[in-house]
Amino acid sequence: MEKDLVLVSVFVSHADGCYRATPEVDIFRVEGEAVILHFPIFMRTLELRDIAPPPAQYVIGRSNGTEQTVYEDKGRVQQHSGELWLLPAQLSDSGKYTCTYRNETFCVTGSITLHVYESYSADIKALSYPWSAKVGENVEFHCPALDRFNKTGRPIEWHKDFNSAPLQPGRATLTIPAVKQSHAGVYTCRLTVLINNLQYKVSRAYLLHVEGSDPAVTISMPVVTKPSGLGQPSSSTLSTVSVMKPPVIVSPIDGTVFESSHGSGLELFCQVVTECQLADSTAVTWLVNGQSVESSYLNRRALQGGRSVTRVSGRCQIEVRFVISAITEEDKKMEMKCVTQNAGGKQEVVTMLRLEDTTFTWLVVGVVTASCFLMVVCVFLYVLFKPKSKKKMDYILARQSSTFSV
């Protein structure tokens, strides 16, 4: 089991006099909607560092390769402390943004990449949260990340496959009991929010994959045509075999226990190998205690995303990132599950989180400290009470003998 025990943390490197936090998970949004960029991993890095006074300000900027653009608290793009507001977002806002906190003695910088698309239909796979369910299961979708906005009082609207008619107005949760294959598709929640007395649109989308019975497998069978008369040979044809293989999760390994200390961060990657023709339709999702990351209690401290596809030995490998900004006692023995599914089948692996036991570490530190202290005390006592040398005593006695001889 020791080979499955992995210690993972949010790594911070030091370069150019500034600590660089691990990049945030990429953000995918739609043009024309309000977007608030924030840096949870960067903020957690600041909390873990011992920042000395004087206090500093957050500087959020964007680089186009030749110059740096720094934002203020007014205009279409506004900076408010450690957040950047785009009111609304435009296609040209796509790019990498950095947030820096610097004073006379300390500097930390973090980064996040924003992707703005023209509409959900342009690239629904990047803009939506993938969700998998089996036929007959109950499905609940929650409209995520809306607590950062002030609602106008208008009801939340849910739409399927971009239809204009709403499904369940006024509810932040969409429930689908006993899901069927016909329920598969894109579900979008839409909301009107109020920022600086102006109204903006905000939306989120889910891409639902429904798993039914196993896909049919066609087996090649020769079809023989009987002769119609004497002297006429028989003929046969052979059908083509068509088999779809299920996706395979190559990392992490099922049953892996990730160990992390209190206050540190956790960064995991789910790597799935599948046929390249099925890569786009293969869903890869992280679940926390059986719930989606957005619906779990980790919603404010965890993010998933950063999906990437690479070709490996004639097949395609899909990688989805999962980041927890800070581990707390609440996360003790948390179950993290990676689930993948496509037309060929479904696979899932279960991993666990275990908090590192710091009792033994502090015990070792205490023993070493006490030993060093006792050593220093012994050296001091030895120097203080060291006996006088014999040579010096002989010299004094000789002087006394010469005196008596006179």
Tens of pLDDT, residue by residue over 161-182, are: 776 677 765 678 888 888 888 8
Q: Is the pLDDT of residue 362 over 60?
A: no
Pairing of strands 283-288, 335-342: antiparallel
pLDDT of residue 404: 42
pLDDT of residue 160: 83
Pairing of strands 107-117, 27-30: parallel
What average pLDDT does the chain have? 76
The residues near 378 (Cβ < 8 Å, ≥ 6 apart) are none
The residue ranking higher by pLDDT, 282 or 219, is 282
pLDDT of residue 124: 75
Q: Per residue in 299-357, pLDDT tens? A: 888 888 788 888 877 789 999 999 988 888 888 778 889 999 888 888 888 888 887 66
Q: Is the pLDDT of residue 359 over 60?
A: no
Q: 244-358: what fold? A: Immunoglobulin-like (2.60.40)
Query: Under CATH, which number does the domain 10-117 receive?
Result: 2.60.40.10
For the chain, the C-alpha Rg in angstroms (whole number) is 33
CB 257 within 8 A of CB 4: yes
pLDDT of residue 239: 47
Q: Per residue in 92-110, pLDDT tens? A: 999 999 999 887 777 889 9
Q: Is the pLDDT of residue 17 over 60?
A: yes
pLDDT of residue 96: 92
CB 27 within 8 A of CB 37: yes
Q: Do domains 10-117 and 244-358 have the same CATH topology?
A: yes
Nearest-10 Cα torsion for 42, 144, 91, 321: 50
pLDDT of residue 113: 93
Query: Per-domain residue ranges for the chain?
Result: 10-117, 122-212, 244-358
CA nearest to 266, candidates 189, 356, 175? 356
Of 7-16, 199-208, 251-260, least confident by mean pLDDT is 7-16
CATH architecture of the domain formed by 122-212: Sandwich (2.60)
> Encoding tokens for residue 404?
């008596």
Q: Per residue in 112-132, pLDDT tens? A: 999 998 877 667 777 888 888
